Amino acid sequence: MSTAIRASSILPGRREDIELHTADGLRLVGELALPADRPPVATLVCLHPLPTHGGMMDSHVFRKAAWRLPALADLAVLRFNTRGTSSVRGTSEGAFDGAVGERYDVAAAIEYAEFAELPNIWLVGWSFGTDLTLKYGCDPAIAGAILLSPPLRFSAPEDLATWAASGRPLTALVPEFDDYLRPAEARERFAAVPQAEVVGVPGAKHLWVGDAELVLDEIVKRVNPAVEVPLPTTWDGPMEAGDVSAYADRTVAAFADTPVPGPAD
């Protein structure tokens, strides 16, 4: 009998707690999710939203990616807490550094994926994580990147120039009602990267509440195009339930629509 896939649904997969070790001596906590009984076709390395505004490795789109995509799309999903960030998994060492020290966090995640021989590595950044992707993610090991709600706040024109020169695929999913950067302006800003694809998402907002499934479909479409989308909304096999109430004190309302300054001039 088919069972509906809900926000709390955990589909079969191999999941293990991992630790990343940065070049400046910090230990970061994370998780690697893999397909249950076969090698992954591709890999997502997830860079979460601002920890000062509730972002973490369990931010809902990334949590759903880790719980569903190993089974539905043969993907490995690596997610972790950047320096100073906490979630149920634990707290990473260090302190939030405004997209400066986080360069070592991105490098540590890419290095882990390489050493684990994970295939076809893509970065998926969300909000603050998109700035980390643009600033530090254009690495020879990376096949491409997907940006969710890019504010282009901490990244600079030279970061876009680096991606342009690399020729690596870059897709930006931009909500129609984003708080920081909307589709028309995003197309102007990303024109500096000829291969960049800007996808405006009607009706969506910065935090993708109610639109996680659409985001996962768009990710899979680019990272493993052999998989048919939209992804299934039901599952015929065993399925567990996760605790989606673990962050009741960190609700969307607590950090939505709050202006965030960029780096100091």
Tens of pLDDT, residues 36-61 = 999 999 999 999 999 999 999 999 99
* Residue-wise pLDDT tens digits, 190-230: 999 999 999 999 999 999 999 999 999 999 999 999 999 99
Which own/partner contact pairs does 247-254 have at CB distance under 8 Å and 24+ positions apart? 247/54, 247/58, 250/54, 252/207, 252/209, 254/54
Looking at residue 87, its pLDDT comes to 93
Q: Which architecture, in CATH terms, is 9-255?
A: 3-Layer(aba) Sandwich (3.40)
Which residue has tokens 């589909």?
Answer: 11
For strands 86-87 and 14-21, give the pairing: unpaired
Domain ranges of the chain: 9-255
* Residue-wise pLDDT tens digits, 69-116: 999 999 999 999 999 999 999 999 999 999 999 999 999 999 999 999
pLDDT band at 253 (very low <50, low <70, confident <90, very high): very low
Interior angle at CA 104, CA 14 and CA 164, nearest 5: 95
> How far apart are alpha carbons 141 and 109 in whole angstroms?
11
Measured between alpha carbons, how far is residue 66 from residues 51, 243, 256 in Å? 19, 14, 23
